[in-house]
Structure 1
Amino acid sequence: MSQRDVTIAAYYFPNYHVDPRNEQWHGEAWTEWELVKRAESRFEGHLQPRVPLDGYLDEADPEVMAGKIAMATEYGVDAFLFDWYWYDGRPYLQRPLEAAFMPNAVAGDMKFALMWANHHWSNIHPWKSATPATQLESGTVDAGQFEAATDYIIERYFGHPAYLRIDGDPYLSIYELATLVEGLGGVDAAKAALDGLRKRAARAGFPDIHLNAVARERQVLPDDGVSLDGPSLISRLGFDSVTSYVWVHHHPMPTLLTPYADMLEQAADGWKRYAADYEQPYYPNITVGWDSSPRTVQSDRYNPALGYPHTNIISDASPEQFGRALEQVREFVEQTNVPLVTINAWNEWTEGSYLEPDTLHRHGHLEQIRRVFGTKAR
């Protein structure tokens, strides 16, 4: 396969293993696989349930994670960007990364980095219509908690030989800037906290870090922070690059079944617009699909007017359509020379955006990555 300089990085959502806090909220041995198993077709043309080809595996099992790493590298996914959480003074959902991925990646070619998902955690697993979305954990951190969380990141992750670096600097992405700024007490205080992070990282042996901001123009989750002036804010805070998490953070889905081709057209125009609007390089994002209906109570009437997780859905999210998106993003990369492409996602099963093989498309989406980008020389 062809060698290429760009890194293909897929977001990884680690909620498919047993976690003590989930057990407190949902019962013994609960994982988000429970929602995947119970998903139903809610209207004509709705492709549910989605069934994982390899079964409902425990991602915190090192052998299972070794299989994921082998599959990813075989098809040209170079890195996992783990959704990483810090609530109430300690990490959450970290076990697949720390106990399964990191030991396997020591001798392998797979990289990883963190996307600090600092949004509030709500009880939407599943969400019952006509009831308020209860906030279970707050994503807001004050200066002390910011320092504690980032010290944990520096000490636990940055020095790992498989940690992803951009121009030699550890890559750290932050999901919700509005929540960050609110918790730290304003833009100037947030800038001081980020500068302090860089200084503490330098004292730990990392001359600099690569701070990436996740851009968002539309609210999706019930507790998404209020959008601020993106380009100006990101520059004031001193970020080094910008990317996205998922297309629906930017682009509307006007119909219940919105064709993938229509979303791709909006996304490709967006990559160019963001490259022009931001002072920092924009790392383009590709989304595999979108269907958050598994996070609704299946006996409720499906009604997009209620908002997330009752949203419109991306239809025709086939491997062929995904391949066209990859071809267009490859052209963007060739024009801009950006070093990273983000994909949503490796395993967002309950939002309908995953590369992992299912019984419908099997390895089709992964095969498109290998066809368009090849694999890096190992």
Structure 2
Amino acid sequence: MSTRLLRSVFVFKAIHRHGRHVLAALLFAVCAGQAAAGPYQLGVYYFPGWRDNTPGSPSMHPWDPIKPYPERKPLLGWYHEGDDAVMRQQLDWMAAYGITFVAFDWYMGPPGNTVYLDHALQAYLRARERSNVKFSLLWANHSKFPASLSDWDGMIRYWEANYFSRPEFLKMDGHPVVFVFSADMLESQVKTFGQTSQALLARAQSIVAEAGGASIQFVAGTGATTPFISSTAKADGYGAFSTYNYQQGPADPHPFYSYAELDQGYRAHWQGFAQKGNLPLIVPTTSGWDKQPWGGTTGYPQHDHSESTPEQFRQHLQAAKALMDGGPWQAHKYAVICCWNEYGEGSFIEPTEMGGFQYLQQVKAVFGGN
């Protein structure tokens, strides 16, 4: 079946199941095209874990734990992630509703320092629609990689050879943007082979310079109770701060127990960076948290009551936008949403069969047309 025909089947099935409100939303997505360019760069994290029999996925059949939660069934069905038709439709929706970049969770490790779970990214690179939505990497460094300077050098050279020169790669002031999941984890890991983050980030810049590329804008992923906001981040070579998600506030002894708490905790983190940070913040936002399909939050089942309503999510985004407009400390108006499709953790804005386009509509209402 051709890619275009397969996408048509997706649309037909969605209309058949959900009637005129989904038809209207789909027609809007088709007609709107790329969101109007403006001062805000709004991204989404993309978890590439929804493909059967794929090493590195949560399981060999990763949709199975999600199926008992019908409110999480994607509008595209239990899709085979990495298929071209799936990615092309997702990019159409992102562009139409005001999302300007997608940051793919990116993994490298043993055996042989191979790249894995990059099927969605490869589908992105094949898609004509990639010109409407730029891409970046969220390097998922929560493992024992790198274990040597050779590991590090190989990863940087892979990025330079395969991604950075592409016109679709996200740039900040002309520099390719790479999110580091945890700056603290990186510092701890590189100590195991006698290095420091500062030395390795400088080494990375030398490698890309030798290849004729622009220096990398490394984004330091921060923790919740001990945010990585000291002066060492800038000295180490990071160019901005952000996070994948926050489970608790800056001084909270327990994770959030509702989306209202989660929202206030995020706002407290944002203000901490506004007051103490010495680098720009790529403002982290989230649609919520509920990890029950993957067994729940260990020790804190109340944390799995932190999913938002569309209205709460809109207010959360409005607060983030106000922060981005708020002062000279925030030189770049970049934000990122967790997440497009973290169905196991309850963080998703991708259209679903039951919810339709409600969450993307909130994104468009706050950021669209700017």
TM over 0.5: yes
Q: Within 2, Cα distance between the matches of 1:260 and 1:325?
A: 10
State the match for 1:35 in structure 2: 65
1:45-60 pair list within 5 angstroms: 50-60=72-82
Confirm or deny: 8 A CA contact 1:231 1:278 kept in the other structure.
yes
State the match for 1:10 in structure 2: 44
State the match for 2:211 in structure 1: 204
Query: How big is each residue's C-alpha offset from its partner over 1:143-191, in whole Å with a ceiling of 9 and x where there is no partner?
Result: 2111111111111111112100001110011112233223322796321
Structure 1 window deviating more from structure 2 (163-172 vs 330-339): it is 330-339
Q: Within 1, Cα distance between the matches of 2:42 and 2:108?
A: 26
State the match for 1:307 in structure 2: 299
Over 3 Å counting, the alpha-carbon distance change for 1:164 and 1:249 in structure 2 is farther
Unaligned segments of structure 1, at least 5 residues:
40-47, 121-137, 219-226, 297-301
Quick one: which amino acid aligns to residue 167 of structure 1?
Answer: D
State the match for 2:6 in structure 1: none
Q: Within 1, Cα distance between the matches of 2:331 and 2:189?
A: 35
Percent identity for Structure 1 against Structure 2 = 25
Question: SS at 1:66's partner residue?
Answer: helix
Query: How big is each residue's C-alpha offset from its partner over 1:16-43, in whole Å with a ceiling of 9 and x where there is no partner?
Result: 12354248x94xxx2421221145xxxx
Q: Within 2, Cα distance between the matches of 1:208 and 1:161?
A: 15
Tell me the C-alpha RMSD between the 2 structures.
2.6
Query: How big is each residue's C-alpha offset from its partner over 1:266-293, in whole Å with a ceiling of 9 and x where there is no partner?
Result: 2122211112222111121111010011
State the match for 2:16 in structure 1: none
1:142-153 pair list within 5 angstroms: 142-153=148-159
Query: How big is each residue's C-alpha offset from its partner over 1:241-296, in whole Å with a ceiling of 9 and x where there is no partner?
Result: 0011113164659588x332222122122211112222111121111010011111
The reply to whether residue 275 of structure 1 matches residue 274 of structure 2 is yes
State the match for 1:345 in structure 2: 339
Query: How big is each residue's C-alpha offset from its partner over 1:47-79, in whole Å with a ceiling of 9 and x where there is no partner?
Result: x75222221111210111000000100111111
- Given the alignment, which residue of 359, 365, 368 partners 2:362? 368
TM-score w.r.t. the length of structure 1 is 0.80
Q: Within 1, Cα distance between the matches of 2:255 and 2:153?
A: 44
The reply to whether residue 94 of structure 1 matches residue 118 of structure 2 is yes
Question: SS at 1:11's partner residue?
Answer: strand
Quick one: which amino acid aligns to residue 299 of structure 2?
Answer: G
Unaligned segments of structure 2, at least 5 residues:
1-34
Question: SS at 1:286's partner residue?
Answer: strand
The reply to whether residue 85 of structure 1 matches residue 77 of structure 2 is no
Quick one: which amino acid aligns to residue 180 of structure 1?
Answer: L
Tell me by how many angstroms 1:337 deviates: 4.2
Quick one: which amino acid aligns to residue 284 of structure 1?
Answer: V
Q: Within 1, Cα distance between the matches of 2:246 and 2:198?
A: 27
- Given the alignment, which residue of 127, 144, 158 partners 1:104? 127
TM-score w.r.t. the length of structure 2 is 0.81
Confirm or deny: 8 A CA contact 1:36 1:349 kept in the other structure.
yes
